[in-house]
Structure 1
Amino acid sequence: MTGGKMREKTASERLLQTLDQQTITTLMCQILDLEDGELLQWQVQEISETNGAATGGVYRLTGTGRGQDREMDWSLILKVLCRTPAGKAPGGLEQEHVLYWKREALVYQSGLLNDLPGGLRGPHCYAVTEQDDESVWLWLEDVKDPHGPCWPLSQYSQAARCLGQMNGAYLAGRPLPAFPWLVRTSSPRGLLDHFSWMWKAVPDPTTWQHPFLRSAFPLPIADRLWRLWEDRGAMLDVLERLPQTFGHLDAWRGNLFAVPEADGEQRLIAIDWAYPGLGTIATDIGDLMAPSFGLFRVEPCDPRTLDRVIFESYLEGLSAAGWQGDRSVVRCAFALFTALKYGCLLFWLHQITDESQHSSWEQRRGHPLDECLQQQATLIYYLLDLADEGRGLIDVA
């Protein structure tokens, strides 16, 4: 090539060079349930928002094949797991580490997802392959949700009931999975300690003089936020002694899909099984409620309404699974976990005061900056109310 600099290959183009047609043909035949099929054409597209600690890339492969005298379209997802993805902190190298880099591959290989209670399942896994560079490739079902990215409240109700049935089955006597690589606690204690540096900005009055923050928080929150941070140790102590069960532990809307199955029934499919393990009751619905609201993944409503729909449906699921525990225990766990995890992680505060972060904020949420901040402010006000509710339930839980 002459005149000018040679264009650097994209991640998808580099990946394409490492794949062979026989591998893709074998995977295509699994997807289309063909004994012998012909691969006609295929392509690779990189998927954005690959935020996992061990995620080296997520790609969608699409193509066309021929079998049984007709042409058929197919697609699948390739998720690449690495010890140290480029530009990220290294994933945990020990099995007991919450960020253990190989956990998701072991989840699929173990068969853990083949018999989950409550109607929940993981995506079909067509293959797990270890590469020469020590990365692990997961070849997964390309799950599509007919609702699009934004669920109606009715779907949140169904998802919460399903999560309640799954959590409740283990609380009612189903043996907990015993794999040594499962996460051992859902407590956000370690997470909050790791990001404690964020709190230096809260007591500083100049932080709240930022025009965006003054507009979003007409009622000052610094004192209430600081009280939550100061109370975190005692609140975490209570949270960690409440009933424990098996959970997904990252069950927000972005990892859940409501999919019609061949039998006409709708199934809840959960992706991103990087953190499953032992967690306090109601952890999964705390993850379902707060980030889903903050990232505009629910039809327009206030957080109290979303909370009510999710929480009541979760209780129904627990009961259907055979667990007859105290409602106040569940509510205390939900209030404490949700307020602590999503009220104490102040990424949003630093992103707002750093103008270089504004475009990424808008891009991820799909809304203008002022709308993003207003949504976050509405959530923070509600989380502070939840913290107050949780404090009031500690003595009865």
Structure 2
Amino acid sequence: MTRPPADLVPAEVPAQALTHNPLNGVTGGLWRTRRAGRPAVLKLIAPPGAGAGPAHWAASDDPGHWNYWRREVEAYRSGLATTCYAEAGLVAPDPLVIEDRPDGTVALWLTEAAGRPGTTGTVRDLADLARRLGAAQAAWLADPGVSPASRRAGDVSPYDWLARDWLRDYTLSRPVTEPVPWDHPAAVAAWPGSLRDDLRRLWEQRQAVLAATDRLPRTLCHHDVWPTNLVFADAGPVLLDWSFVGPGPIGEDAANLVLDTFLDGLVDVALLTEVADAVLDGYVDGLRGAVEPALVAHAVRLSGAAKYFWLSPVMLNRAGGATGQTYDRRDEAAMFAGRRPVLELLTNWAAASAD
């Protein structure tokens, strides 16, 4: 859909389609436009069955499902998105209007976050973001389903629309076909045998890796912290897209920030080691006094391994065909080569977390 529905944005009002994951059945469209004379972002949220995407990106009407279609609507209506991390200086766009439409979709109107795109963030920016994220998540350690303010008021009722077990449900839903062709020519050309062996081991141990994350302290996770969901504003970072919010292990969001900053070729992979060290240091500092630094470092490595054990098998299943990528515009050979340092870090984290 190149333009929003005309009843939402008349033809005379400019509307710029924004890059998003078109495979996800929840997102019917995303535009930068105007509302009541001011800059705004319009996100059209679609119920199950409205889109034609693949099964592993289908919207769900189960409130606990990893891809529950109304979660972001509820996160904004409840105020959770705009307040849950705000005390640490990490905010979401303010909602302008939330419209339930006759066709079953929901129009989510948000203020436009003005600032630098997340892909332009410096190492210092990402370290500061990680520190704020750690401080914010420290406040949710006691019960990741109940806000600190609610706990102080004696309310222990969690939101029933939070993702129930996002990390496990999402990762195990990725479309891997066995047997995985670990010696596909595309992999042999880009990845040494030792890396392929490590990636195979991580895939084979995925259930044990996920089980190990269950033993980590839990907090309220965003579950999709990466550059395209970030704006670096003058007043501090703005975190976009609250579709996946829910309880999860500490470290998961920080790990995803490191890995997903580089996986799609949007940021120079030469910065990987520097960013990984800076994000870990910042996140440890944010959680200082709440979680022991050694446990935080272990959690980042372990949850990173848990988040992406499926990636190399999916890449190999698709090798020789369409990459299925929305954000990564590299050809197959460049993508395999460009992701090698990130996959090496991933397997190093997996090995370190198993010690």
Question: TM-score normalised to the size of structure 2?
Answer: 0.86
User: Which has the higher relative contact order, 1 or 2, with Cα contacts under 8 A spaced 6 or more apart?
Assistant: 2
CA change 1:17–1:190 in 2 (3 A) is closer
Counterpart CA distance in 2 for 1:307 and 1:215 is 26
1:1-12 → structure 2 map (5 Å cutoff): 11-12=1-2
Partner of residue 278 from structure 2, selected from 309, 317, 334: 309
CA change 1:268–1:200 in 2 (3 A) is same
2:26 alignment counterpart: 54
Deviations 1:76-135 (A, max 9, x none): 111011113422244111212221101110111101134333111111110000111010
Counterpart CA distance in 2 for 1:157 and 1:173 is 26
Confirm whether residue 378 of structure 1 aligns to residue 348 of structure 2: no
2:39 alignment counterpart: 75
Whether the 8 Å contact between 1:245 and 1:279 is mirrored in structure 2 is yes
2:224 alignment counterpart: 250
1:118-267 → structure 2 map (5 Å cutoff): 118-146=88-116, 149-171=119-141, 176-177=146-147, 178-186=158-166, 188-195=167-174, 197-203=176-182, 205=183, 207=184, 210=185, 212-260=186-234, 266-267=235-236
Q: 1:63: Cα distance to partner?
A: 8.3
Counterpart CA distance in 2 for 1:369 and 1:236 is 29
Whether the 8 Å contact between 1:164 and 1:318 is mirrored in structure 2 is yes
Counterpart CA distance in 1 for 2:203 and 2:143 is 36
Q: Secondary structure at the match of 1:333?
A: helix
Counterpart CA distance in 1 for 2:191 and 2:75 is 43
1:113 alignment counterpart: 81
Counterpart CA distance in 2 for 1:20 and 1:236 is 44
1:4 alignment counterpart: none
2:13 alignment counterpart: 42
Confirm whether residue 338 of structure 1 aligns to residue 304 of structure 2: yes
CA change 1:367–1:154 in 2 (3 A) is farther
Whether the 8 Å contact between 2:224 and 2:253 is mirrored in structure 1 is yes
CA change 1:194–1:50 in 2 (3 A) is closer
Question: TM-score normalised to the size of structure 1?
Answer: 0.77
Whether the 8 Å contact between 1:150 and 1:299 is mirrored in structure 2 is no
Whether the 8 Å contact between 1:162 and 1:268 is mirrored in structure 2 is no
Whether the 8 Å contact between 2:118 and 2:232 is mirrored in structure 1 is no
Counterpart CA distance in 2 for 1:175 and 1:50 is 27
Q: 1:199: Cα distance to partner?
A: 4.5
Q: Secondary structure at the match of 1:201?
A: coil
CA change 1:126–1:378 in 2 (3 A) is same
The letter for the 2-side match of 1:294 is: L
Whether the 8 Å contact between 2:221 and 2:253 is mirrored in structure 1 is yes
Q: 1:223: Cα distance to partner?
A: 2.3
Q: Secondary structure at the match of 1:365?
A: coil
The letter for the 2-side match of 1:221 is: L
CA change 1:173–1:225 in 2 (3 A) is closer
Confirm whether residue 285 of structure 1 aligns to residue 249 of structure 2: no
The letter for the 1-side match of 2:317 is: H
Unaligned 5+ segments in structure 1 are: 1-10, 25-40, 66-73, 261-265, 393-397
CA change 1:193–1:368 in 2 (3 A) is closer
Structure with max Cα Rg: 1
The letter for the 1-side match of 2:305 is: A
1:10-25 → structure 2 map (5 Å cutoff): 11-13=1-3, 15-19=4-8
Deviations 1:337-369 (A, max 9, x none): 111222323333334x13333xx65x7235555
CA change 1:54–1:312 in 2 (3 A) is same
Counterpart CA distance in 1 for 2:98 and 2:35 is 20
Q: 1:55: Cα distance to partner?
A: 0.8
**Higher helix residue share:** 1
CA change 1:222–1:298 in 2 (3 A) is closer
Q: Secondary structure at the match of 2:207?
A: helix
Q: Secondary structure at the match of 1:166?
A: helix
Counterpart CA distance in 2 for 1:174 and 1:57 is 30
The alignment's C-alpha RMSD in Å is 2.6
Confirm whether residue 270 of structure 1 aligns to residue 239 of structure 2: yes
Identity of aligned residues (%): 24
2:63 alignment counterpart: 95
Whether the 8 Å contact between 1:202 and 1:222 is mirrored in structure 2 is no
CA change 1:181–1:113 in 2 (3 A) is same
Q: 1:286: Cα distance to partner?
A: 1.3
Whether the 8 Å contact between 1:77 and 1:142 is mirrored in structure 2 is yes
Deviations 1:244-294 (A, max 9, x none): 11121111121111111xxxxx31111110011111011110111111111
1:86 alignment counterpart: 51
Q: 1:180: Cα distance to partner?
A: 1.0
